[in-house]
């Protein structure tokens, strides 16, 4: 039985990253049920329960080294691991795992990585040095490929695929409806259902702008607003802060931590999704829900361009009038947008699964078959 070790941002309660791991496990199991997967996690017990795989604590050096030693293939990813905006320690940590794995003679792959922004010179040098040691790289967008090349990663083949979460499937309707019932959310009410996904990111007057936009939509279109937290309780608390600033109080919020498949189902029941969180937007795209993105990070902008959906721009430039205008336009074009997203979904799901196909090829036949771009 072949063993794969996965290193990523797992066990922190972030639904986007858990969706990545869940979809990775699904993809591998579909291709080869004889694969044994282990993850490095901040909460191993939770990871084992949620994903049905083995896990060890990501900061226990003895367990980490043992897990690397036992693996036939080490995957770094998926997700935005190679960036130093949210933490200056992320890049050194993830690249140390990769470095150790290569020194121990393991096959290593950057798996569906999102790359950048990278601001610190030390981190730029680390990426160039360690990146050229790995056997294979897949990235989730063209910008990430360009970033790696600009940073000096030249040796391994770089494939542009898609975020692994595009391979995820939602829960059944019975499970999904029970979530709505618990939160007293009635989607059969008159008016459009608009999902809002926010995260803590104190730039300008973001909270005030989103609150005023929600008020405008309720008054102008009689919409039903549902706040959908992707990381609990951080996003839930941020949602409450925005709700406090709103004049209209008939707003719903998901007040519990939901799993990725549950959140995918909920996002799929919206008529429009306006959000900051990348994976809320990805969930909407999977389910054919028109999007309006709030680009707190370049990865959001890159994704929206790829799926042909509008962006309200960066948060520091966010204005109520322009956001409302964009949402109004998205409401008018929602049927056209939904068709376009559903047409795109098949391609993105294939590319998401291609990450696993390439990983298994590497595991089976070495990396000599891969040539440079």
Average pLDDT over residues 55-70: 99
pLDDT of residue 47: 99
pLDDT for 65 equals 99
Say if residue 135 is in the same domain as residue 31: yes
Residues 42 and 27: beta-carbon distance below 8 Å: no
95 occurs within a structural domain: yes
Task: State residue 88's pLDDT score.
Answer: 83
- Do 157 and 282 have their domain in common? no
Q: What percent of the chain has pLDDT over 90?
A: 91
Mean pLDDT, range 27-31, rounded to an integer: 97
Token pair belonging to 5: 């070790």
- pLDDT at position 366, please? 57
- Output 13-16 pairs: Cβ under 8 A, ≥24 positions apart: 13/43, 13/231, 13/232, 13/257, 14/230, 14/231, 15/230, 15/231, 15/258, 15/259, 15/260, 15/263, 15/279, 16/79, 16/165, 16/230, 16/231, 16/260, 16/277, 16/278, 16/279, 16/280, 16/282
Of residues 314 and 68, more confidence is placed in 68
Convert the pLDDT of each residue in 318-361 to its tens digit: 999 999 999 999 999 999 999 999 999 999 999 999 999 999 99
Is the pLDDT score of 277 beyond 90?
Answer: yes
CATH number reported for the structural domain that contains residue 227 in this entry: 3.40.50.2000
In-domain check, residue 273: yes
Alpha-carbon distance of 164 to 268, in angstroms, equals 18
Q: What is the pLDDT of residue 371?
A: 42
286: pLDDT strictly greater than 80: yes
Q: Considering the domain boundaries, does residue 52 fall inside one?
A: yes
Say which residue, 222 or 62, is predicted with more confidence: 62
Lowest mean pLDDT among 146-155, 186-195, 362-371: 362-371
Find the mean pLDDT for residues 140-158. Answer: 95
Residues 296 and 190 in one domain: yes
Domain boundaries, position 113: 2-167+348-365
Give the per-residue pLDDT at 316.
87
**Pick the residue with more confidence: 28 or 86?**
28
Name the domain count of the chain: 2
> Are 16 and 161 members of one domain?
yes
Residue 210 and residue 115 share a domain? no
Structure-model confidence comparison of residues 373 and 344, the more confident one: 344
- The answer to whether residues 156 and 237 belong to one domain is no
- pTM to 2 decimals? 0.95
Q: What is the pLDDT confidence band of residue 202, given thresholds at 50, 70 and 90?
A: confident
**Any domain includes 210:** yes
Residues 140 and 227 in one domain: no
Residues facing 33 on adjacent strands: none
Is residue 245 located within the same domain as residue 263?
yes
At 71-117, the pLDDT tens digits run 999 999 999 999 998 888 999 999 999 999 999 999 999 999 999 99
Q: What is the rounded average pLDDT of the residues 140-154?
A: 97
Give the separation between CA 125 and CA 262, rounded to whole angstroms: 40
In a domain? residue 338:
no
Position 339 in a domain: no
């Amino acid at each position: 039985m072949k063993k794969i070790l996965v290193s990523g941002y797992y066990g922190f309660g972030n639904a986007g990253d858990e969706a990545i791991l869940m979809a990775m496990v699904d993809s591998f199991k579909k291709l080869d049920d004889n694969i044994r997967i282990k993850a490095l996690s901040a909460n191993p017990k939770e990871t084992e329960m949620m994903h049905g795989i083995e896990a060890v604590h990501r900061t226990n050096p003895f367990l980490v080294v043992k897990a690397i030693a036992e693996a036939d293939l080490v995957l770094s990813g998926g997700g935005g691991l190679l960036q130093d905006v949210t933490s200056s320690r992320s890049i050194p940590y993830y690249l140390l795992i990769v470095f150790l794995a290569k020194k121990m003679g393991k096959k290593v792959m950057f798996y569906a990585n999102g790359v950048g922004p990278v601001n610190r010179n030390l981190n730029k040098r680390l990426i160039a040095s360690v990146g050229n040691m790995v056997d294979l790289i897949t990235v989730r967008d063209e910008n990430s490929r360009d970033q790696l090349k600009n940073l000096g990663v030249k040796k391994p083949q770089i494939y542009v695929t898609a975020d692994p979460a595009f391979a995820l499937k939602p829960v059944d309707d019975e499970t999904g409806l029970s979530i709505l019932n618990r939160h007293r959310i009635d989607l059969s009410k008159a008016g459009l259902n608009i999902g809002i996904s926010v995260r803590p990111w104190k730039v300008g007057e973001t909270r005030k702008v989103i609150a005023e936009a929600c008020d405008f939509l309720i008054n102008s279109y009689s919409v039903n607003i549902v706040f959908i937290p992707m990381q609990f309780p951080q996003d839930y608390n941020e949602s409450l802060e925005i709700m406090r600033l709103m004049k209209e109080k008939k707003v719903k919020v998901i007040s519990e931590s939901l799993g990725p498949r549950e959140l995918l189902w909920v996002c799929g029941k919206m008529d429009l999704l306006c959000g900051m969180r990348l994976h809320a937007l990805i969930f909407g795209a999977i389910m054919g829900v028109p999007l309006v993105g709030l680009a707190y990070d370049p990865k959001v902008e890159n994704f929206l361009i790829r799926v042909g959906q509008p962006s309200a721009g960066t948060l520091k430039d966010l204005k109520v009038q322009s956001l409302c205008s964009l949402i109004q336009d998205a409401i008018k074009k929602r049927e056209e947008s939904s068709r376009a997203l559903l047409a795109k979904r098949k391609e993105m799901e294939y590319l998401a699964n291609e990450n696993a196909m390439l990983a298994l090829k590497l595991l089976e036949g070495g990396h000599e078959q891969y040539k440079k771009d």
